[in-house]
Structure 1
Amino acid sequence: MNRRKSSLLLLWMLVCSGGVTEAIEPISTSIAVGMAAALTGFLASYQNIFYYFHECCRPEWIYLNKTGLQVDLEAKLFGQHIASRIILKAVTGFMSNDNPKKPLVLSLHGWTGTGKNFVSQLIADNIYKEGMDSSFVHIFTSELHFPHLSQIDTYKSQLQQWIKGNVSNCAHSMFIFDEMDKMHPGLIDSIKPYLEYYEKVDGVSYRKAIFIFLSNAGGESIIQTTLDFWKAGRDREELELKHLETELSVSVFNNKRSGLWHTSLIDKNLVDFFVPFLPLEYRHVTQCVMAEMEAKGLQPDQNVAVQLARDVLYFPKTERVFSVKGCKTIASKLDFYT
């Protein structure tokens, strides 16, 4: 049994690596040729089996489901018409390009509970067969991975090595940086060379990688613009990226708690899109409740959704227009209402 498992593992390594000789280096060439000859017939007949044996950096495991992403954004991401449009176009355009000039860099901004983490999951789910559980999706959280200012130089070196190692393993790697507003200023600049238009950096090409930054920074300017639209009696869907992008990028660049404060990533225009996530209204919270009930296997109940949505805190206090925490606490509150 152990010998059989070892054989299967070896064969998987051969298939995933793209060639027998590369997989078994530095075994001598004569042995490699002998093994290759012995296994050629088997691999030719049964190689498709091994594509499903273990996750590989191959099209069988990494491919964009454009229709799936579009449906998910329309049906599951509530109140974010601007973000949905940007993300769909940015991701589909990037993934359909066999020779991109640089990695895709998205910076998602907005108040808590508006869908930034959730949309990162939707992107991963529609690119990687294993979704967020893929070994090619990597999440960095500021307070967990980079907690001490005194070790900033060590973090910079580690971050560079982590990214270089993972992209070397799979060009189509995705890196998600959560809590950017809590990240030490200057840390993210350490990976600037990897986000540039260089063909290769130290022998490694980063052009097919995806970098996603998540931050609450800039949320105030997004809220103010959205509130101004509401006060002017204008429909929320009239808001466009042009109303928000310039002020958002300036706000993030000048905010010491943004993680992108005075960063050369903005200076050098390496962030492809600053994606604003709007504050959620009562109707969006109701949609979140209905979706959460369905996700938990419960029969969606409009009365429960209305009651829970009404009890959520809103601001400004008098008008009660926007949810203070978006949909962030819906899952935990739902148990109390059902």
Structure 2
Amino acid sequence: MVLERKSILTRWKALSCNTASGQWEKLKESGLFSRNTQMSDQDSSTSASQTDDETQPDGETEEETEKKQGSGRNFSQSSFSTSLLAVIRIKQKYQALKRRRQELATARGGVDSLTGAPVKSSPKIFTFDGLGPSGCPTTTTSSSAPQKKKKRRKRRVLFPSSRRRRAPPRQDYNRAKYFLYLLLAIVFVQVYNAIENLDDHVIKYDLEGLEKSMKREVFGQQGAVDGLIHHLKDYLSTYVHNKPLVLSLHGPTGVGKSHLGRLLAGHFRSVVGDPLVMQYYVLHHCPQEAIAPHCARNLSVVISEMVERGEEEEKIPVFIFDEVEHMHEEILDTLWHAMSAKQSNEYLNAIYLLMSNLGQEHITRYVLHNSSRDPVATASGRYGHLLRGLTPVLHDTLEKRHLLWTEAEILPLGLLEKDHVMECFLDEMTQEGFYPDQNNIERLAAELEYYPEVGGRQYSQTGCKQVVAKVNLL
């Protein structure tokens, strides 16, 4: 009986696996399933009878055997039908439960989408979705759409607590920094050497000694001396220039122009040598106008020789021209061509000093009219006012005389006061060996002529011009 049941189950499974799901339903509706089962029962009964005949013992009769076969056939049919019905009921119950769960899931998903709550997924359980009506696998795919994979959330970057110190970010190693530091060091050394060279070049001319001697021997012209030293330091700090230095000193008679020129000539002769310093007096070297062209040619030759010599020795020559107001037109033209910046390089390294009393009327008028403005002002402050007020006027007056003064820096010299004249007497008497008696100095100073007192000051009309003659009469 057990063998018969197993043979029927195997045949039913084979039949159900070979047929599609739709054909299986048709077979059940048409009653072929019952016929097949009856046929299979008959086949099984015949096979069972054959086996019984073969295995029937000798003591049993045919009636007994028929009774046994009939009871076995009824038992097999009843057991087979009950097991199949149980499988069908289980499948129907599962499909009903599955529909119920899907309806609940759709209803819960709608509510959750409104409230924003996450959708709960049902636990994975064993289902018969992939099996046919007889438990065999089917080829059709499920109608439900595949679920999307959830995106993985990036982990948050957690920093250490405030108790611990966070290590600063490490900077990248760059070799170019060292090259930059090396370049800066080279530039610094070059600039430092250039400054040292400038100082060495200025020290060679000993301008500090020149300044001290002029302040000691030139009276009442402190502002002019400061301006002259400033221009000389600025020019002599380098050797290569784009134009020569031209300084024009103007002032009334006796204010110290010639004395200043003698001091400059003596100082530069001791520094650069006598061949590189020329002191030119117009009334001495070229007194007549008839020989002015010849004087101009000789002056041009002397200037060229001195400039070439200075270029060879790497020194700057100095040309001092006194009494320029008596200089002829040909000589002025020669000087203008020599001072022009269009000359060759060797002519650009030279110093020209021009001494004259041109524009003395403007200087005298300005000093007398502006002395009462600031009576407490210092000497440098008064000279600053004098320079700002007289420079434009003197430029206009001198450029009308000749174009030479377009290349020149003008330094006006002011009038000397009575105290300055007394200092001139004291210095001259000391040099001549006289006892410097104060009463005698005041008496000699009172013999000179002065302008009317302005702002508590008395200005001399002749300056220190007559001091030497007065001392020689002692």
DSSP-derived class of the 2:215 partner: helix
Alignment of 1:19-98 (within 5 A): 63-98=204-239
Q: What is the alpha-carbon distance in structure 2 between the residues aligned to residue 177 and residue 66 of structure 1? A: 20
Instruction: Tell me: CA distance 1:216–1:97, structure 2 relative to 1, closer, same or farther (3 Å).
Output: same
DSSP-derived class of the 1:244 partner: helix
* 1:286 matched residue in structure 2: 422
Check conservation: 2:277, 2:318, Cα contact below 8 A: yes
Alignment of 1:209-224 (within 5 A): 209-224=350-365
Deviations along 1:255-300, one digit per CA (max 9) or x if unpaired, are xxxxxx1x2223xx311x2111111110100111112222234443
Deviations along 1:89-148, one digit per CA (max 9) or x if unpaired, are 0112222222222222111111111111111222233333179x9233212222222233
Alignment of 1:39-188 (within 5 A): 63-129=204-270, 134-171=274-311, 172-188=316-332
Moved more, 295-304 or 70-79: 295-304
* 1:331 matched residue in structure 2: 468
Deviation at 1:78, TM superposition (A): 1.0
Q: What is the alpha-carbon distance in structure 1 between the residues aligned to residue 451 and residue 383 of structure 2? A: 20
One-letter amino acid of the counterpart of residue 341, structure 2: Y
Aligned length: 264
Q: What is the alpha-carbon distance in structure 2 between the residues aligned to residue 190 and residue 219 of structure 1? A: 25
Q: Which runs of 5+ in 2 are unaligned?
A: 1-199
Q: What is the alpha-carbon distance in structure 2 between the residues aligned to residue 191 and residue 214 of structure 1? A: 14
Q: What is the alpha-carbon distance in structure 2 between the residues aligned to residue 155 and residue 126 of structure 1? A: 26
One-letter amino acid of the counterpart of residue 209, structure 1: A
- Of 459, 467, 472, the residue aligned with 1:322 is 459
Check conservation: 1:223, 1:278, Cα contact below 8 A: yes
DSSP-derived class of the 1:175 partner: strand
DSSP-derived class of the 2:275 partner: coil
TM-score (norm 1): 0.70
Identical residues among aligned pairs (%): 28
Check conservation: 2:453, 2:459, Cα contact below 8 A: no
Instruction: Tell me: CA distance 1:128–1:148, structure 2 relative to 1, closer, same or farther (3 Å).
Output: closer
Check conservation: 1:64, 1:92, Cα contact below 8 A: no
- Of 391, 395, 415, the residue aligned with 1:245 is 391
Check conservation: 1:78, 1:288, Cα contact below 8 A: yes
Residues 1:193 and 2:193 aligned together: no
Deviations along 1:36-61, one digit per CA (max 9) or x if unpaired, are xxxxxxxxxxxxxxxxxxxxxxx9xx
Deviation at 1:335, TM superposition (A): 3.0
Residues 1:307 and 2:453 aligned together: no
* 2:80 matched residue in structure 1: none
Q: What is the alpha-carbon distance in structure 2 between the residues aligned to residue 306 and residue 122 of structure 1? A: 27
* 1:50 matched residue in structure 2: none
* 1:33 matched residue in structure 2: none
Check conservation: 2:206, 2:271, Cα contact below 8 A: no
Q: What is the alpha-carbon distance in structure 2 between the residues aligned to residue 332 and residue 242 of structure 1? A: 35
Q: What is the alpha-carbon distance in structure 2 between the residues aligned to residue 188 and residue 199 of structure 1? A: 16
Deviations along 1:168-206, one digit per CA (max 9) or x if unpaired, are 233422212111111123531223232122462xxx712
Q: What is the alpha-carbon distance in structure 2 between the residues aligned to residue 124 and residue 94 of structure 1? A: 17
Q: What is the alpha-carbon distance in structure 1 between the residues aligned to residue 415 and residue 356 of structure 2? A: 14
Check conservation: 1:314, 1:320, Cα contact below 8 A: no
Deviations along 1:224-277, one digit per CA (max 9) or x if unpaired, are 1110112445447323111221112222233xxxxxx1x2223xx311x21111
Check conservation: 2:281, 2:322, Cα contact below 8 A: yes
Q: Which runs of 5+ in 1 are unaligned?
A: 1-58, 255-260
One-letter amino acid of the counterpart of residue 265, structure 1: L
Q: What is the alpha-carbon distance in structure 1 between the residues aligned to residue 327 and residue 419 of structure 2? A: 33
Q: What is the alpha-carbon distance in structure 2 between the residues aligned to residue 205 and residue 239 of structure 1? A: 35
One-letter amino acid of the counterpart of residue 150, structure 1: A
Report which of the two has the higher share of helix: 2
Q: What is the alpha-carbon distance in structure 2 between the residues aligned to residue 156 and residue 265 of structure 1? A: 15
* 2:182 matched residue in structure 1: none
DSSP-derived class of the 1:128 partner: helix
One-letter amino acid of the counterpart of residue 125, structure 1: G
DSSP-derived class of the 1:144 partner: helix
**Bigger RCO of structures 1 and 2 (CA < 8 A, at least 6 apart):** 1
Structure of greater Rg:
2
Q: What is the alpha-carbon distance in structure 1 between the residues aligned to residue 213 and residue 290 of structure 2? A: 42
Runs of 4 or more above 4 Å deviation: 316-320
TM-score (norm 2): 0.51
